[in-house]
Structure 1
Amino acid sequence: MKKTLLILLTISWLAPLVAQPTINLKYYLPQNIQYDTKIPTPKSVLGYEVGEWHVSHDQLVYYMRAIAQASDRVVLEEYARSHENRPLLILKITSPENHQNLEQIRQKHLELCDPAKAGGVNTDDMPVVVWSGHSIHGNEPSGSNAAILEAYYWAAAQGDAVNKVLDNTVILLDPCFNPDGLHRFATWANMHKSKNLVTDPASREFNEVFPRGRTNHYWFDLNRDWLPVQHPESQGRIKKFQEWRPNILTDHHEMGTNASYFFQPGIPARTNPLTPQMNQDLTAEIAKFHGKALDKIGSLYFTKEGFDDYYYGKGSTYPDIQGSIGILFEQASSRGHAQQSIHGVLRFPFTIRNQFTTAMSTVEAANALRKKLLDYQKNFHKNAPKGKTYVFGSNDKGRTYQLVKMMQQHKIEVHQAASDVTIQGQKIKKENAYVVPAGQAQSRLISGMFQVQTEYKDSLFYDVSAWTIPYAFGVPFQEGGSKGAKLEEVKFPTGKMKWAIGGQHNEVAYVFRWSNYYAPRALYRLQKKGIKTKVVTENFTFNVEGNSETFSYGSILVPVGVQKMSKNALFKEMEAITQQDGVDVYVLHKGLADKGRDLGSSSIRALHRPKVMVLAGQGVTSYDVGEVWHLLDTRYDMPVTIVDKYRFSRVNLAKYNVIVMVNGRYNDIDDDTQKIKNWVRKGGTLITIKGANRWAKNVGLASLKYVKKQPVKPIVHPYVTRRNRRGAQRIGGAIFEANIDITHPIGYGYERDKIPVFRNHELFVNKSISPYATPVYYTKTPLLSGYISKPNLKYLQNTASVIISKRGRGVVVSMLDNPNFRAFWYGTNKLFANAMFFGHIIGW
């Protein structure tokens, strides 16, 4: 009997592997209407039914172009190219009549977002605009595969009801937010598909190797880039969003295999306070349409838990601060073609059908609530609060340029300052200072970008609790300021050649300051061409064009007499970096300084060209590796070798002078510890970030001492509160103030002795016993913006952010916090650059 029962149980588990339902368009599409036979079906173009295989991005593009060519309801537009040069597409879908006047419809719609015009707009007969967006995470593919069905349905479906919807709606179908990630994952899933589908979660099909398909080319999570807009995919998308300002934007995702289906509203207590309640009310009304549609096909779902509407850098939340309704969908993921779950076998076609169903219910809701949505958008801007005026600026033109550029991408009006200003004690000339005036259309978004908040209704966050943009860029800001001329377009700043008195035709040396954001790129450009460079470790002063110019810690000196190239060739190279990197280059005519150290002083140290390796692979945070790769490759024009840990033992370390270990686990290279120690002692610079410091400490490479935490007193809490109480002790992402020693090589290029630092972990380390080994440490009252529990705030006070450990002729730079977070923390990138370029000169 027991044997029979075991056989029956085994058969019941295996049955889903054998009994595979017939997948065709009838499985997905409404069957009570006719479909135009002139419109190509997915199978007729792709060669398979939707859901039989994972669509690759090139196939997706091919089908969308076929649909646009065949239908007078669809116009296809390419709005950007990914890092891997794949096109990002938008399909503008509406009635043929609307297409005849689409530009006028768009312009009229934009009047709803203009406070000066919104009040006069009659919304009675205006079409509603819906942006249907999919798969910003490449290994969450059900959305992009559902987009194929959406395109076919709207092009082919016939009848008065369909025509009415198209008359009243402009659908912006974005079939794939992340082409590179989707293509990477589709390749993985398809290459591991068996003829007889395997549903065992242990199968390789469901377990991608590093770095997985979630991210874009540089391994960034594009769903955190809507506000920072650091990648071409995001930049193109935000430009298109601002051109249309849709009433609803949907963002189709996937989650764990054992879940069901989520749609917003999210957790009410975790809605950003700048988001109007009406936004949440409308989201709840739209949710009823999703629930009804999913009930009809028997799919389980949930709302108001697990996800929030707080960080404005996500696709489902970015619209909320601009009069639109952002909606997140999360489908339990098959992560392949069919996988066993607690609900039975979860099949890829089932996940696609759910996504298609809610995409359709979104359009249904938009039509039913058309006037209410349009009037909400109209009143959102008509009654927008005036907001505050902010002034910001920095002597670092590079960082300030990037900040202004980012704001303009969001259609924020920026003006030059009317006069010189003093911001947080720093004097800034008017040409380097900018004003964001109050009373403009994006007043709420501006508040969201400049928002400083330290008190919250809820202590749990799905993402970061703070992102105050000027802090991230390391640009001082404050309320107030008098505006000058409006900036129509910000241009990359160029530098100048400046001559010391008597310097013309008698060049002894060139010097440029390290404070410019792009100074590392300029330095590497010179080093790559074999030009000998030095760094200033003690100040000197020259008279330049009638002004007394002091060149402080970190300034880069290029002596003329020791170079292999001719004076004329060297001059051209120095002139080039003023144009390409925006640095001012000063031409010195003598070695004897007016004040301070002379140019032949031993305090001006010779530099080596960085040759960088980054360790990667399973157990390492791919985001953090990608951030280093992106910074060096796209910002500094530096090559970087990324080595998987399993190959590390076979790599010749003599080829590198900098090794970077980002957050992650490194126990699998313990056998190579001595190899790394020997390399450091011979003069190598090892940079360890966040969790990598645990490994460095454990193997004796880094001298770190953890903060001793107070023992927790026994206490009893209700079981149901366990997750919230644990979560409340996490630092999910907040901004803190740190002291920085600007005379230390790690602090070179900074002009103020305090900087904002981003932290999202709970590793607290005491300052070093060496008085020169803690160049960056938290202040006594460090919290600038974001959430941190009171016990953690106490532990953080006066602790280290960067610690130096000398080992022979080399050095270990322990960075407790990630200086390259999500590519928009421009303000701390220089800490990382300093470790690379100047680590080898650190000593005491």
Structure 2
Amino acid sequence: MKKLLLLLFTVTQCVRAQAPEDLSYYLPQNISYNTDIPTPKSVIGHEVGEWHVTHDKLVEYMKTLAEASDRISIEDRGTTYEGRPLLLLTITSPENHRNIENIRREHLKLSEPGSGSLSTGDMPVVVYQGFSIHGNEPSGSNAALVAAYYLAAGESPEIDEILDHTVILFDPCFNPDGLQRFAYWANTNKSRNLNPDKNEREYHEVWPGGRTNHYWFDMNRDWLPVQLPESRARIATYHRWLPNILTDHHEMGTNSTFFFQPGEPNRVHPLTPQMNQELTKQIGKFHIKALNNIGSLYYSEENYDDFFYGKGSTFPDINGGIGILFEQGSSRGHIQESDNGLLTFPFTIRNQFTTALSTLEAASNMRKQLLDYQRSFYTDTRSQASKGKGKALVFGDEKDAAKAYHLAEILKRQQIKVYDLAGDFTENKKHYKEGFAYMVPKNQKNIKLIEAMFETRTEFTDSLFYDISSWTFPLAFDLDYGETALSHAGQEISDLRLREGKINRQSNYAYLLEWHEYYTPKALYQILRKGIRAKVGKTPFTIEDREYDYGTIMIPVQNQKMDSGALYVFLQKVAEESHLEIDGVSTGHAVGSDLGSNQFKTLEMPQVAMLTGNGISPYDAGEIWHLFDQRYDIPITKIDESYFNRVNLDKYNVLILTSTRGSLNTDIKEKLQTWVKNGGVLIGYRQAVNWLKNNEFIDPELRKKEITAKDVTYEQQQDFRGAQVTGGAIFEADVDRSHPINFGYKNDKIALFRNTNIFMEPDEQSYNNPIIYTDDPLLSGYISEENLEQLKGSVPFKVFRSGKGKVIIFTDNTNFRAFWYGTNKLLMNAIFFNKLM
């Protein structure tokens, strides 16, 4: 009888879960709603939570609301890589809308000198509400449907008060491409009879999943680097308004409940003011009350931290606002079994909607407090900045204008003032060249943000990090940098531009292209694709009184497929598009190697493929795809592991294997081994090193020291293990500039980003160790003492011969999150110059 009752109870639960919830399930019922405002169902064709809303329907509803309500205006801030609009709704009272630009200007005055005369008691608070930056965390964007309807249609004194006292910047979907991808998956796998079995296909989306954007980037790591179009739109909005609160609605594991900040109290970045955390905790009290009212379980001050400023929930903390992370246990579909009972999609939406409202309630109630905090933040910032009067940070590379430009571009997007140089100068043995370097005065409004981007930090109160522990931007760009006198500065740059490329003169003999500039790989690929013969110089030389470094590209004029005039016109176009300088020379005679020397080796056009699909990290693969496609205009063929064995690999001379998350089948192994032995070049990254070693492609000697816990309790074991994770820090290595892997680098040291614990022993032959970690390698970030000892003197790069081919391995990521410009050239050197290694 008990079994029968349990069965009936379970069936009843499933039947109830399958019945679509209407708006009354989500909305407060003690108020009325304007019937002239369209409901979500009337536009998208289904109840909220009945299906996963697709981005096109979400856009349609938001536009419909803006047309129907005088509380809402809408703007299109650009498009994603896939062409989807990046919408922003501004929601406030009609009266505020009529005065919106003046409200914005007055609000920004809180961050400027003289703000003490402003009466914060009379000013609206500004709240940025953003949803589903991870596309397969869809309860946020689906909750945005209900929240937008509530704010447009709700009629009560409480709503009027919120609208009168709040400007809501409403971003219904941070990640349109990812949301669309996941909605397609969940909807196409939905059954009429909902099945909560966790093994159901609906809850196991195919690779790469909907979390990421078009190029498989985690966009919640791009708030500081702003390398992606979605990020650039929201950062522009952020600085245009400087919101007091920014909310970021996420999801986590199915067996979790609901998290809201503050997070781990010991994992807050030291630059974040203590008052920020106190206000965050006060806001949390409103979430507690709201979630108690609907009976939802929740927690706070655990798991998540406020350290990396590149996340949406932490970025406001260094900009005078309060960032709030919400994490909802995910149904990953429409209904799923969990440790907390049947978890339905509508339930996850209701929690997100509920806390969206409690945020607005908190903002309205704490309005003056939040505005006063913002004013005091910038008052303190100005005091700090004044101490830097007459001082500036300088960064640049006298051989590479593009890298320095792209860092300056990031700073400009973050509303940081950037100046050019008044003239060339040398300081601390580093030469800063006008047009190749920039200056950042320290006495300016966003000095705390500047400090967060430029600091090096090696001491921490906690050894656990939710994300990376260092992101020092000039090190990421491999630039010379330091503090200097502001007197070296020229004019503030209002219109930042890459330098114009050119050929210095037409030649009937040869053209030379030094390999230092960031966009040289783009130029070289265009040259080789055109069928033009090009060679690379293995040694430095001097010709016509100019010195040329390792890796200089030489294009002879004679015996080409085009005449000298056409070659000049083509190379001029290449120089312009790649923003670099090409030299025409009239002689082949040089001090060092003559241009006809065997020290110049003929190059072949790379035909590059990359393995993708199950078992491969989409992040690493996406970063490489983006680098080739967006930066260098080099085609790269993405081959999925599911059909890899049916592909003829003979047309490719380079294949990239990024970090593997598991095993690849035996057929793939055998096919790759055969291809390499026949002359192919296989480049392996990060965890691929272990796979290549375990499958006998290579045999590097790895350092592996077992770390034993002593005086560690059972309760502390997770923290003990977590402390051994190298989650992302920056390390110094010596480089042999004569080795082809280092062509294009002007210094004998390089800053490398590392987030693995793969430590390789150096080769006994010193010339086989072109990159080797120094004896004091830690530049910035956290690494355990045990792992630091293993890192010292180890190597992050090796080349192995295999038959006629080669296997080249990197223990770490040279393309991290699209902003690690400084080591992109390492991968491109492996692509173009592998025959020389």
Using the size of structure 2 for normalisation, the TM-score is 0.97
Residue 811 (structure 1) aligned to one of 802, 806, 809: 806
3-state SS, counterpart of residue 420 of structure 2: strand
Distance in 2 of aligned mates of 1:602 and 1:258: 65
Residue 315 (structure 2) aligned to one of 318, 326, 338: 318
Contact 2:125 2:371 survives alignment (8 Å): yes
Which residue does the alignment assign to 1:376? Answer: 373
Distance in 2 of aligned mates of 1:182 and 1:714: 43
Which residue does the alignment assign to 2:446? Answer: 442
Aligned residues: 827
3-state SS, counterpart of residue 170 of structure 2: strand
Please tell me whether residue 707 in structure 1 is matched to residue 698 in structure 2. no
Deviation at 1:772, TM superposition (A): 2.9
Deviation at 1:773, TM superposition (A): 2.5
Please tell me whether residue 219 in structure 1 is matched to residue 216 in structure 2. yes
Which residue does the alignment assign to 1:612? Answer: 608
Which residue does the alignment assign to 2:104? Answer: 106
Please tell me whether residue 366 in structure 1 is matched to residue 363 in structure 2. yes
Please tell me whether residue 468 in structure 1 is matched to residue 464 in structure 2. no
Distance in 1 of aligned mates of 2:331 and 2:521: 45
Which residue does the alignment assign to 2:493? Answer: 487
Contact 2:136 2:182 survives alignment (8 Å): yes
Contact 2:759 2:794 survives alignment (8 Å): yes
**Mean Cα deviation higher: 468-477 or 698-707:** 698-707
Deviations 1:634-668 (A, max 9, x none): 00101111111122211111010000000014632
3-state SS, counterpart of residue 243 of structure 2: coil
Distance in 1 of aligned mates of 2:512 and 2:132: 48
Q: Cα gap change, 1:11/1:643 in structure 2, threshold over 3 Å: closer, same or farther?
A: farther
Which residue does the alignment assign to 2:30? Answer: 32
Distance in 2 of aligned mates of 1:332 and 1:613: 38
Which residue does the alignment assign to 1:521? Answer: 522
Deviation at 1:670, TM superposition (A): 2.8
Residue 496 (structure 1) aligned to one of 493, 499, 502: 502
3-state SS, counterpart of residue 501 of structure 2: coil
Distance in 1 of aligned mates of 2:707 and 2:272: 38
Residue 117 (structure 2) aligned to one of 87, 106, 120: 120
Contact 2:508 2:558 survives alignment (8 Å): no
Contact 1:810 1:840 survives alignment (8 Å): no
Using the size of structure 1 for normalisation, the TM-score is 0.96
Which residue does the alignment assign to 1:77? Answer: 75
Contact 2:712 2:720 survives alignment (8 Å): no
3-state SS, counterpart of residue 642 of structure 2: helix
3-state SS, counterpart of residue 431 of structure 1: coil
3-state SS, counterpart of residue 349 of structure 1: helix
3-state SS, counterpart of residue 274 of structure 1: coil
Which residue does the alignment assign to 2:763? Answer: 768
Q: Cα gap change, 1:708/1:71 in structure 2, threshold over 3 Å: closer, same or farther?
A: closer
Which residue does the alignment assign to 2:85? Answer: 87
Deviation at 1:18, TM superposition (A): 2.1
Which residue does the alignment assign to 1:404? Answer: 408
Deviation at 1:168, TM superposition (A): 0.8
Residue 56 (structure 1) aligned to one of 54, 57, 75: 54
Distance in 2 of aligned mates of 1:231 and 1:121: 36
Distance in 2 of aligned mates of 1:628 and 1:830: 12
Distance in 2 of aligned mates of 1:222 and 1:616: 20
Deviation at 1:598, TM superposition (A): 1.0
Deviations 1:750-791 (A, max 9, x none): 000100000011111111234332221111100000001101
Deviation at 1:796, TM superposition (A): 0.3
Deviation at 1:527, TM superposition (A): 1.4
3-state SS, counterpart of residue 207 of structure 2: coil
Distance in 2 of aligned mates of 1:312 and 1:493: 31
Which residue does the alignment assign to 1:589? Answer: 586
Which residue does the alignment assign to 1:509? Answer: 510
Deviation at 1:424, TM superposition (A): 5.1
Distance in 2 of aligned mates of 1:616 and 1:663: 10
Which residue does the alignment assign to 2:425? Answer: 421
Which residue does the alignment assign to 1:725? Answer: 720
Q: Cα gap change, 1:776/1:339 in structure 2, threshold over 3 Å: closer, same or farther?
A: same
Which residue does the alignment assign to 2:395? Answer: 392
Contact 2:130 2:171 survives alignment (8 Å): yes
Deviation at 1:740, TM superposition (A): 1.3
Contact 1:283 1:327 survives alignment (8 Å): yes
Distance in 1 of aligned mates of 2:795 and 2:551: 22
Residue 649 (structure 2) aligned to one of 653, 661, 683: 653
Residue 331 (structure 2) aligned to one of 317, 330, 334: 334
Please tell me whether residue 279 in structure 1 is matched to residue 306 in structure 2. no
3-state SS, counterpart of residue 33 of structure 2: coil
Indicate the percent of aligned positions where both proteins have the same amino acid. 50
Distance in 2 of aligned mates of 1:649 and 1:168: 62
3-state SS, counterpart of residue 800 of structure 1: coil
Contact 2:435 2:499 survives alignment (8 Å): no
Which residue does the alignment assign to 1:66? Answer: 64
3-state SS, counterpart of residue 679 of structure 1: helix
Deviations 1:140-171 (A, max 9, x none): 00000011111111111113332222111101
3-state SS, counterpart of residue 250 of structure 2: strand
**Mean Cα deviation higher: 523-532 or 659-668:** 659-668
Contact 2:425 2:433 survives alignment (8 Å): yes
The amino acid that maps onto 2:497 is K
The amino acid that maps onto 1:226 is W
**Mean Cα deviation higher: 168-177 or 803-812:** 803-812
Distance in 2 of aligned mates of 1:121 and 1:438: 26
Q: Which runs of 5+ in 1 are unaligned?
A: none
Distance in 2 of aligned mates of 1:647 and 1:439: 58
3-state SS, counterpart of residue 319 of structure 1: helix
Which residue does the alignment assign to 1:790? Answer: 785
Deviations 1:678-716 (A, max 9, x none): 32233321100001011212233223100142x545745
Distance in 2 of aligned mates of 1:162 and 1:682: 71
Root mean square deviation of aligned Cα: 1.4
Deviation at 1:481, TM superposition (A): 3.2
Deviation at 1:9, TM superposition (A): 4.1
Distance in 2 of aligned mates of 1:736 and 1:668: 31
Residue 679 (structure 2) aligned to one of 680, 683, 688: 683
Distance in 2 of aligned mates of 1:666 and 1:439: 50
